[in-house]
Amino acid sequence: MSHIETKAPSNFIRHIIDEDLKAGKNQGRVATRFPPEPNGYLHIGHAKSIVLNFGLARDYGGTCNLRFDDTNPHAENIEFVEAIQNDVRWLGYDWGNRLFYASDYFEKLHDYAVELIKKGLAYVDDLSAEQIREYRGTLTEPGRNSPHRSRTVEENLELFARMRAGDFNDGEKVLRAKIDMASPNINMRDPAIYRIRHGVIHHQTGEEWVIYPMYDFTHCLSDSLESITHSICTLEFEDHRPLYDWFLDQLDVPCHPQQIEFSRLNLEYTVMSKRKLTELVDQGHVEGWNDPRLPTIAGLRRRGYTPESIREFCHRIGVSKADNMVEMAMLEDCIRSDLNDRAPRRMAVLHPLKVTLTNYPDGKTEQLIASNHPQDETMGTREVTFSGDLYIDQSDFMEQAPKQFKRLVAGGEVRLRNAYVIKCDEVIKDGHGNIIELRCSYDPETLGKNPEGRKVKGVIHWVSASHALEAEVRLYDRLFSHPTPDAAREGKDYKDYINPDSLLTLTHCYLEQSLVDAQAGDRFQFEREGYFCLDPLHLPGNKPVFNRTVTLRDTWAKIANQ
């Protein structure tokens, strides 16, 4: 229904694949994978990778595997495994029967490690983690060989078997690849490939293993075992590519996928590292992984984002090797244009001010017709109930106003959207001088037409007080008050930039009656207020909660200039 979605634009990775296909590489196959570690929920950065990998598979008639990179059971759990599948599906992608876990390959990975040992290309080291760091050298100094580097193959085989059997404590031994301690690339200085982890229960393999393979060893071999052709990852793995290739070159593997790196998505006014997101959730700075202020897919969904808008965003930002920072306005623009096309219009009063029409017959009501979309007739119309007791928004009235104020002023006129022109005759205040009610008169001749000879410029929204649906409305602002909260700054932590006003909860809002039929997750434009969705976690019978997805216009530009 939405017309905004474009076909995935071309990029350097597509060019590489086109060339590979022309050259007849991989027997013309294109096989990608999306390999999340289940140690948190997916975020909008992951969406970039998902849209890229699944998009390539779709456009080239290939396959895309969903593979859990689950080699670090300490931080991983089944909640994350399930949430990730849910989010990928919601984004619109289907891995069919191609769901894999790196842990599916633990036995094979173990055998590859044994193969390396037998080839004299891996050894068991007794150095502690700290000593290994010391021996590693620096960017300017070569590393030094471990005293255990020259162990015989037999000794290494026996020690590795005993590591597996649980004979050693955590950290007592590691298995390392034997590459080159003087390599200018630190990743090649005999990286660890297996470490000991006692006492953790892996969400897939339980207590079967006490040794766990390291990421770099696991990843290239998992890719190969799944016959991946193009292994796409983010730029920080560029320096790991020689290691990726080294393992595959040394071992007898089914195929040698090509690793290609692209730049990760960075988005202003938020953080994307899972460590930081975990911290925000665990320390209660937000209400959970699906808090609508987070850049998680679950948070964006709860906020009212559509999968189409997120895919469109991923297309607009493109894929390159250039590091960059994307403005929040770009993401918001995607959801705004999607919802502009498809969200039905409704009236909702967020800061209610009572209006009594003194000349409207007591007890009378009228059913007025309102169109659901100003540009799209196919979206039809609805009835809104008019009566003599209304609410308008407090911000639509000023007792004394500057000339440019086009709404209601004392003694002035304004048009009620889809209804009549009213005139404010009297302003009622409480003992503290607060305006609590307006007494107005309506002009029965003005339904759907302007009064003769009078100019009524302003149009405001309203609801009938006795017919309105009471609701809570949550207005979200950016979670951080700095565009790059996690950039390194002396003495500052990203949490120092948390915006204390990122959530404004309005508990007594009044919505037009038709919204009583809204279903959890339904999205609307509340005219003049923005786009809102009925909280996806809403349960029928409870007081409705509407989350503001986005304002009607870009408010970010203004913020940036403050």
25, 264, 276, 406: the active-site residue:
264
Shortest CB 435 distance to Mg ion, Å: 56
How far apart, in Å, are the Cα atoms of 24 and each of 29, 60, 158, 223? 9, 14, 44, 20
Q: Is 37 in the site for ligand ATP (CB under 6 A)?
A: yes
Nearest of 105, 338, 143, 60 to residue 223 by alpha carbon: 105
Cβ count within 10 A of residue 505 = 9
Task: Please identify which residue in the block is written with the tokens 């909260």.
Answer: 485
3-state SS assignment for residue 390:
strand
Using CA atoms, how far apart are residues 68 and 218, in angstroms rounded to an integer? Answer: 11
Please give the residues from 36 up to 55 whose contact with Mg ion meets the rule CB under 5 A. Answer: 37
How far the first Cα of the chain sits from its last, in Å, is 38
CB nearer to ligand ATP: give 483 or 530: 483
Among 20-28, 43-51, 156-164, 285-293, the segment contacting ligand ATP (CB under 6 A): 43-51
Per DSSP, the residues of 284-303 read TSSSSTT-TTSSBHHHHHHH
Q: Which two tokens stand for residue 319?
A: 């894929």
Partner from ligand ATP, Mg ion, none binding residue 273, C-beta < 5-8 Å depending on class: ligand ATP
Partner from Mg ion, ligand ATP, none binding residue 35, C-beta < 5-8 Å depending on class: ligand ATP
**Number of amino acids touching Mg ion (CB under 5 A):** 1
Q: Is 164 in the site for ligand ATP (CB under 6 A)?
A: no
Using CA atoms, how far apart are residues 76 and 366, in angstroms rounded to an integer? Answer: 58
Who contacts 515 (Cβ-Cβ below 8 Å, separation ≥6)? 346, 348, 469, 471, 524, 534, 544
Shortest CB 233 distance to ligand ATP, Å: 5
Give the torsion sign (CA, 18, 22, 26, 27): positive
Among 35-43, 70-78, 101-109, 289-297, the segment contacting Mg ion (CB under 5 A): 35-43
264, 316, 351, 417: which one binds ligand ATP (CB under 6 A) = 264
Q: What angle do CA 214, 219, 225 make, to 5 degrees?
A: 125
Secondary structure letter of residue 510 according to DSSP: E
Q: Is 49 in the site for ligand ATP (CB under 6 A)?
A: yes
Shortest CB 493 distance to Mg ion, Å: 22
173, 241, 274, 548: which one binds ligand ATP (CB under 6 A) = 274
Among 32-40, 77-85, 284-292, 344-352, the segment contacting Mg ion (CB under 5 A): 32-40
CB nearer to ligand ATP: give 5 or 37: 37
Among 32-40, 56-64, 362-370, 505-513, the segment contacting ligand ATP (CB under 6 A): 32-40
Using CA atoms, how far apart are residues 104 and 305, in angstroms rounded to an integer? Answer: 34
Please give the residues from 60 up to 119 whose contact with ligand ATP meets the rule CB under 6 A. Answer: 69
Nearest of 88, 76, 74, 66 to residue 37 by alpha carbon: 76
Give the torsion sign (CA, 234, 236, 239, 243): negative
208 an active-site residue? no
46, 230, 342, 538: which one binds ligand ATP (CB under 6 A) = 46
5, 14, 37, 149: the active-site residue:
37
Among 30-38, 305-313, 487-495, 505-513, the segment contacting ligand ATP (CB under 6 A): 30-38
Q: Is 233 in the site for ligand ATP (CB under 6 A)?
A: yes
Q: Is 234 in the site for ligand ATP (CB under 6 A)?
A: yes
The alpha carbon of residue 211 and the mean position of all alpha carbons in its chain are separated, in whole angstroms, by 33
Residues 174/124, Cβ–Cβ less than 8 Å: yes
CB nearer to ligand ATP: give 156 or 259: 259
Q: x/- site string to Mg ion, residues 223 to 242, per CB under 5 A?
A: --------------------
108 an active-site residue? no
36, 62, 73, 295: which one binds ligand ATP (CB under 6 A) = 36
Partner from ligand ATP, Mg ion, none binding residue 463, C-beta < 5-8 Å depending on class: none
Question: Could you tell me how many residues make up the chain?
Answer: 562
274, 303, 336, 407: the active-site residue:
274
CB nearer to ligand ATP: give 37 or 554: 37
Task: Please identify which residue in the block is written with the tokens 């970039």.
Answer: 48
Q: Which two tokens stand for residue 281?
A: 């959730």
Who contacts 4 (Cβ-Cβ below 8 Å, separation ≥6)? 308, 309, 312, 334, 337, 338, 341
Q: Is 273 in the site for ligand ATP (CB under 6 A)?
A: yes
Q: Is 203 in the site for ligand ATP (CB under 6 A)?
A: no
For residue 153, report the phi and psi dihedrals to the nearest 5 degrees: -55, -45
User: Nearest-CB residue to ligand ATP?
Assistant: 45
274 an active-site residue? yes
Partner from ligand ATP, Mg ion, none binding residue 388, C-beta < 5-8 Å depending on class: none
The residue type of 242 is P
Shortest CB 550 distance to ligand ATP, Å: 21
CB nearer to ligand ATP: give 33 or 467: 33
Task: Please identify which residue in the block is written with the tokens 């390392």.
Answer: 176
Q: Is 279 in the site for ligand ATP (CB under 6 A)?
A: no
Residues 82/115, Cβ–Cβ less than 8 Å: no
**Which residues make up the interface to ligand ATP (CB under 6 A)?**
35-37, 45-46, 48-49, 69, 233-234, 264-265, 272-274
Q: Which residues are catalytic?
A: 37, 264, 274
